[in-house]
Chain A
């Protein structure tokens, strides 16, 4: 990749791919990087024997224009204004850009409960990703639990791959879900149909609402989960638990670049531009709204970065509709208070450093917890325990510092070397 591009796009999911294709076809020299080994992001993850067709089509459009792509590379620092340092396996380069589009997506929110560190307990989207990446789930008894529209999609996919879905456990109340589904009928027909499709494919699977997993147990790996459902407590034998409490945006890079947050998401104007001129955010960074929202925001940002404002304007209305949908999702799948009481005194909250709940409960802030317990100081740098402690204790993790990911010592040692 040239050390200098007109537009750098970080993240090759739907938003990033559309943004890169739009700008590249307008004649800009575009750089596209992604931490993953291939294009598509999480939602367009291909199987081991196939690429996702939509991701493939967009990638070929990008690669046939004036663009360069790098997979397996991640942004770790911003050594100078309009320069991003990207790294892979100890190798790094600095890329200078005029404009930057961030499409760094989202991760699952994990809330700690007794047994959540046992082998056999995975993220919901994660287990789907493992199956797409070669893991044979045939015959495994799986509980899918947490909150959010992802749960049904995961259950449907795992079942199609041969898993026995024992139960889908959704913490949101049925009343809220019903209101949400009716809202979908009003102007979100496509999403309603998609949701209904999942519901039909998961017919026969016990779908519990107002319910959540309180613990997981087993001697060396998962053997059963305990579910709180209404006034009842159920013990459910299973081989795997796939769980996640909706999604949280990966805002670390945008924050490092001084872009401002608003209620947990990146604040953008109608052209997707952040508080920093020339830096745009698209997709889950501006609200968890899924693939259609990401694509239209990617299109708007790609048009804006290439100066085609008139072509962006007609897209605002539809984009705004998807942003409202994202707000509705957050409200529908808001976390219930009972989930704050799942972790017991010795439940690890920080998995990197094995910091138990009671050590954290004695601290007054994220900073204090970090100093006294090493919470958040492991390799995930608080990406897993940060959202958890935010929910459990109301702590706000401070803005991230470089390097954004752990890097090898040589990479750090050479930080002033390459600026050409």
Chain B
């Protein structure tokens, strides 16, 4: 469950540290993680998006990572670049190849270290 591994609760951070981390923007740099004053370094993970390495906060969905990178998620049948639309697993506009598996709904997948995303 995402909830039970959630940062802070499972690691016993102080309320201040937790608030501080939540205040930091969605994508963390190592430097920001140190500023937050925690072992949050381990909570920043790297994935590859179309061969490019990007860093995201642990818990980020693949769809959010795609938006953060300013990337398309797929190309439509008539050649348009598309991005996720519904955010809830219904529209399939967010689908991409994840770790070799085709047509995955990226809004329902949490990034894991080393995950390879290939957009269509």
Chain B residues numbered 66-120 whose CB sits less than 8 Å from any CB in chain A: 67-68, 72, 76-78, 80-93, 95, 101, 103, 107-111
For the complex, is B49 an interface residue (Cβ under 8 Å from A)?
no
* 0/1 interface trace, chain B 20-50, chain A, CB 8 Å (1 if under): 0110011100000000000000000000000
Docked pose: A378 CA to B78 CA in angstroms: 13
Interface size on A, residues (CB 8 A): 55
Q: Tell me whether A48 and B59 are in contact (CB under 8 A).
A: yes
Q: Evaluate whether A50 and B84 lie within 8 angstroms (CB atoms) in the complex, with A107-B90, A133-B61 already known.
A: no
Instruction: Pick the contact of A134: B21, B64, B78, B101 (CB < 8 A).
Output: B64
Interface check A384, CB cutoff 8 A: yes
Knowing A37-B109, A39-B1, the reply to whether A378 touches B22 (Cβ < 8 A) is no
Residues of B within 8 A of A47 (CB): 22
Q: Is A149 an interface residue (CB 8 A)?
A: no
Chain B nearest CB from A303 CB (Å) reads 26
Within the complex, which residue of B7, B67, B72, B103 is in contact with A379, where a contact is CB–CB below 8 Å?
Answer: B103
Closest to A90 in B: B101
> By the criterion CB–CB under 8 Å, are B92 and A379 in contact?
yes
Q: Are B3 and A38 in contact (CB under 8 A)?
A: yes
B88→A134 contact, CB < 8 A: no
B67–A135 CB distance below 8 A: yes
In the complex, A162 Cα to B23 Cα: how many Å?
A: 10
Give the total of B residues in contact with A, Cβ under 8 Å: 51
Instruction: Decide: B83 and A51 in contact? CB cutoff 8 A.
Output: no
A59 to B86, CA, bound (A): 25
With known contacts A36-B108, A117-B76, A380–B92 Cβ distance under 8 A: yes
Q: A134–B68 contact, CB under 8 A?
A: yes
Q: Complex Cα distance A50/B6, Å?
A: 6
Q: How far is the CA of A383 from the CA of B93 in the complex (A)?
A: 12
- In the complex, residue of chain B having the shortest beta-carbon distance to the beta carbon of A244: B86
Residue A315, interface by CB 8 Å: no
Contact of A135 among B1, B58, B68, B111 (CB under 8 A): B68
Given A119-B81, A351-B82, A134 contacting B65 (CB threshold 8 A): yes
A49 in complex: contacting residue of B59, B91, B93, CB < 8 Å: B59
Which of B58, B67, B87 gathers most chain A CB within 10 Å?
Answer: B87
Q: Check A117 against B86 for contact (C-beta < 8 Å).
A: no
Provide the bound-state CA to CA distance between A46 and B7, in Å: 12
Q: Is the CB of B3 within 8 A of A59?
A: yes
Assuming the contacts A126-B85, A162-B25, asked whether A46 and B64 have C-beta atoms less than 8 A apart, the reply is no
The distance from the CB of A187 to the nearest CB of chain B, in whole angstroms, is 31
Return 30 A-B CB contacts under 8 Å, by A number: A35-B108, A36-B88, A36-B108, A38-B2, A39-B3, A42-B88, A47-B22, A48-B60, A49-B8, A50-B6, A51-B2, A51-B6, A59-B1, A74-B89, A108-B86, A119-B83, A125-B87, A129-B87, A130-B61, A130-B63, A133-B59, A134-B57, A134-B68, A135-B64, A135-B68, A348-B76, A351-B85, A353-B77, A383-B90, A384-B85
- 6 shortest interchain CB distances as A-B pairs: A134-B60, A51-B3, A126-B87, A48-B59, A136-B26, A129-B87
- Chain A residues within 8 Å of B, Cβ to Cβ: 35-39, 42, 46-52, 55-56, 59, 71-72, 74, 89, 107-108, 110, 117, 119-123, 125-131, 133-136, 138, 162, 220, 250, 348, 351-354, 378-380, 383-384, 406
